[in-house]
Chain A
Amino acid sequence: MNLEHVVFGVMFVGALGTSLAMLFARNAVHAALFLVGSQISLAIAFLLQGAFFIAAVQIIVYAGAIMVLFLFVIMLLGVDRREALIEPLAGQRGLAVFMGGILALEILYIAWRGVDLVAGGVVQGARSLQALNEDPGNVESIAHVLFDRFLLPFEATSVLLVVAIVGVMVLARRISVLPDRTVAEPGHDDEETAQKEGLTA
């Protein structure tokens, strides 16, 4: 038994425990917190593979940014009480089981075929994930894959995200006809606003 086994044990119990707890939590905030725990456990799993960069990014992006926004929305909307278990979509459960089954089969297939499928198919001349993370290093390998081999899809994804952000801005920010006092810009101080209101009167 070496250190790696100990860490793997902690990660395994943590990931499984928090994921199950998230599913069965009755309170939205509690569920979100368990999801954070699950994501941190997954980051440890990446660490065990020598993928330090992905582990750090996993925590920065998922645990540090996305889940905080989740909590923000939950807190703002006040949906932190017990929710009634009414299903808005008919046949939701059956569909969930079906899709979940497909996903489980896919994961099992990849686990069975293992590293050959991932490393051999994506990175030319790769030995295994662990060897790849050791030799050129995790940061370098990812840089080569993202900015060399898959540059076009990567940039296309970024354009997609920008389009989504612009869409949200358009939907959320209606141009109001009346002067909006809540979004006063610095420089547009009260005096100026007052003058404008004087015009309307």
Chain B
Amino acid sequence: MFDFITADVVIALVKVILVFAVMLVLTMLVIWMERRALAQMQSRVGPNRWGPFGLLQTLADGIKLFFKEDFRPRTADKWVYAIAPVAAMVPSFLAIAVIPFGRDVRIAGHEIGLIISDLNIGILYFLAVGSLGVYGVVLAGWASGSKYPLLGGIRSTAQLISYEIALGLSIVPIVLAAGSLSTVDIVAAQSSSLGDVTFFDDIPVLEQISHAFTFMPKWYIFSQWPAFLIFLVAGIAETNRAPFDLPEAETELIAGFHTEYSGIRFAMFFLGEYIHIVAISAMAVTLFFGGWDGPIFDFLPWAWPLLWFALKTAFFVYLFVWLRATLPRLRYDRLMWLGWKRLIPAALGWIMFTAVVNTDGISRGVRLATFGALFAVVLLWVWRGDPRLKGIVAPKKGAVRGAA
């Protein structure tokens, strides 16, 4: 009956439980870090009462939320109201499953990869569970039976769908360059040095410049930085964080989709959001910063990759907090303009460029031409500013006079 429980299944279970536990503790730390860092940036003190440096403050808040009254508005849809917080939390946890956080280790004769599941379509899996994350927000907004949550829910549908496209398109060049949809392969593809890059060979000046950088690792941030910028902006928008926190917008929507939630249900939204931040940060590290790649020393060789991965991820989590303290919220039409008219066309253009560059055996002329074309496009973009739909969005003066 239970012969399907093998060593592999047990290993997988242990990995899942360990990562889940680490994620919960990590969320505690991230929330503490955010409150302390924000306080420092705003010349405040921040939580400093419970535990050293107020480290246990989040634990205290968690216990408080757990024992709070579970309130449900009379107009709320009973079942959907209950499902929404879970739907917001689960996809964030699932996204962690395809992120490699260390080199393979050997325990009791089993070769164990430090990743929950090395799917051969890992990137698509990440996008798939990311796209399911929309439901938590949308359903919470609708099921609360109240106007501000509904507005927040509708806003977030539009925002998340728009930026999901940009997020997906920004990953495509990485897949093209690495030739694989597996996150483990993508990390492996970044492990050599920049000396392997042959793109600028036989091109004078550029060849010498590129050879000066051979000591650097071949992380995709160097060759794929436009994709990284698009990924970062779209990733922040996907987590509903400032400056893209329109679905919550406490000053206009009174916290938007989770206005009517309290106690443990609110805690689930909160948890989901922070896990999502960690997941996007870890994915940025995996795709563009070589994952766990870094110098490995003889002392505890298995621990170094974990350390590098943790440090890189921590930097991006800090970046999220930093941005929140720095940038004001975008206006809704600006948000849509940025997503559809800037990020998506830029991502599509970059995909075409990467596709040409990664074709086998392309000649020097083609390489020069693509490089020149890209340079020209960037120059034109900077020069001309905003090409806009004249006469459609803003009507011509003659038309306005005629109407008057």
CB neighbours of B401 from chain A (8 A): 199-200
A3 to B12, CA, bound (A): 14
Q: Identify which of B121, B154, B395, B404 contacts A72 (C-beta below 8 A).
A: B154
Q: Is the CB of A175 within 8 A of B77?
A: no
**In the complex, are the beta carbons of A64 and B124 less than 8 A apart?**
no
Bound-complex Cα distance A65 to B162 (A): 10
Q: Is the CB of B131 within 8 A of A60?
A: yes
Q: Which of B130-155 contact A (CB under 8 A)?
A: 130-132, 134-135, 138-139, 141-142, 150, 153-154
From B125, B154, B404, A75 is in contact (CB under 8 Å) with B154
Q: Which residues 59-73 of A sit at the B interface, judged by CB distance below 8 A? A: 59-60, 63-65, 68-69, 71-72
Contact of B397 among A60, A71, A180, A196 (CB under 8 A): A196
B400 near A: Cβ within 8 Å?
yes
Q: What separation, in Å, do the CA atoms of A59 and B168 have in the docked complex?
A: 14
Distance of A15 from chain B, by nearest CB (Å) = 17
Number of interface residues of B (CB under 8 A): 53
B residues near A36, Cβ cutoff 8 Å: 135
Inter-chain CA distance A173–B395, complex, in Å, is 13
Q: Is A168 an interface residue (CB 8 A)?
A: no
Interface size bucket, A side?
35 or more
Residue in B121, B131, B392 whose beta carbon sits within 8 Å of that of A175 in the complex: B392
Q: Can you name 11 extra interface pairs (CB under 8 A) apart from A71-B138, A186-B386?
A: A1-B3, A1-B4, A3-B4, A60-B168, A63-B128, A63-B132, A68-B135, A75-B157, A137-B120, A177-B395, A178-B403
User: Which residues of B are interface residues toward A (Cβ below 8 A)?
Assistant: 1, 3-4, 9, 77, 79-80, 83, 119-121, 124-125, 127-132, 134-135, 138-139, 141-142, 150, 153-154, 157-158, 160-161, 164, 168, 181, 333-334, 337, 385-386, 388, 391-395, 397, 399-404
Q: Which residues from chain A sit less than 8 Å from chain B, CB to CB? A: 1-3, 5-6, 27, 29-30, 33, 36, 52-53, 56-57, 59-60, 63-65, 68-69, 71-72, 75-76, 80, 137-139, 173, 175-180, 183-188, 192, 196, 199-201
